[in-house]
Amino acid sequence: DADVTQTPRNRITKTGKRIMLECSQTKGHDRMYWYRQDPGLGLRLIYYSFDVKDINKGEISDGYSVSRQAQAKFSLSLESAIPNQTALYFCATSVDRGYGYTFGSGTRLTVV
Amino acid sequence: AQTVTQSQPEMSVQEAETVTLSCTYDTSESDYYLFWYKQPPSRQMILVIRQEAYKQQNATENRFSVNFQKAAKSFSLKISDSQLGDAAMYFCAYRGNNDMRFGAGTRLTVKP
């Protein structure tokens, strides 16, 4: 099994719908992150969490919310999806800032 | 805020040749880490190499090496003996106190 699992792998949804992207990890890492990837923009941080009671906004949090249900689970929600939220979404974990991230395999979200 | 710039949207290299991907960053922090990630068509993010800013010695991982110029805030990736499997998007990333910031990426094509 993958260390960081994202579900679903691909999703098409309609404008205005609520959608949740899920992330679970078996690494035992406290730090978890959500990024979105857009062509020509790289990866941009949406939210991050250093433990269950700690949630922080990233540079592009508008239109998104998150929930850290447990150390191993970190979900991203789009309350009312819009077409410009079409992107590839990555969940990542890390043990410490000196180390790289362990990434999930991504969720490709299309909002029509 | 820290920014990471990759000035080459696309690069190509002949198989077995050497290619260098450029990256510059802007920061006022003195303690940080730098990374290169590879993203093949499978879209999985794979850590290629990591550099600690307080170390002057350039990191090396097999055919991959970096040229870290701290004063110039430059962190280039050199791929030697390029292989077809090196074809991918490459992202430069900076990590300071909290999250990781990514450049826009360089798409590397390897010609047989």
Q: Collect all residues of chain A within an 8 Å Cβ-Cβ radius of residue B101.
A: 45
* Pairs across A and B, CB distance < 8 A: 56
Confirm or reject contact between B97 and chain A (CB < 8 A). Answer: yes
Look at residue B73 in the predicted model and tell me its pLDDT.
96
Enumerate residue ranges in chain B where pLDDT < 70.
none
Cα separation, B49 vs A72, whole angstroms? 26
Q: What is the dihedral of CA B22, A38, A90, B96, to 10 degrees?
A: 40
Q: How confident is the model at residue A2 (pLDDT cuts 50, 70, 90)?
A: confident
Q: Is it the case that residue A1 has pLDDT exceeding 70?
A: no
In chain B the first and final C-alpha atoms are separated, in Å, by 41
* Joined tokens for residue A11: 């999703």
Look at residue A48 in the predicted model and tell me its pLDDT.
95
* Joined tokens for residue B5: 């710039």
Q: Is it the case that residue A109 has pLDDT exceeding 90?
A: yes
The answer to whether the beta carbons of residues A55 and A49 sit under 8 Å apart is yes
pLDDT of B43-71, one tens digit each?
Answer: 999 999 999 999 889 999 999 999 999 99
Q: Is it the case that residue A98 has pLDDT exceeding 90?
A: no
Q: Collect all residues of chain A within an 8 Å Cβ-Cβ radius of residue B4.
A: 42
Half-sphere exposure of B75 (CA within 13 A, CB side): 33
Q: How confident is the model at residue A107 (pLDDT cuts 50, 70, 90)?
A: very high
Half-sphere exposure of B38 (CA within 13 A, CB side): 17
Scanning the structure block, which residue is given the tokens 């990837």? A37
Look at residue B65 in the predicted model and tell me its pLDDT.
97
Q: Collect all residues of chain B within an 8 Å Cβ-Cβ radius of residue A108.
A: 43
pLDDT of A3-60, one tens digit each?
Answer: 999 999 999 999 999 999 999 999 999 999 999 999 989 999 999 999 999 999 999 9
Helix (H, G, I), strand (E, B) or coil at A51: strand
Look at residue A25 in the predicted model and tell me its pLDDT.
97
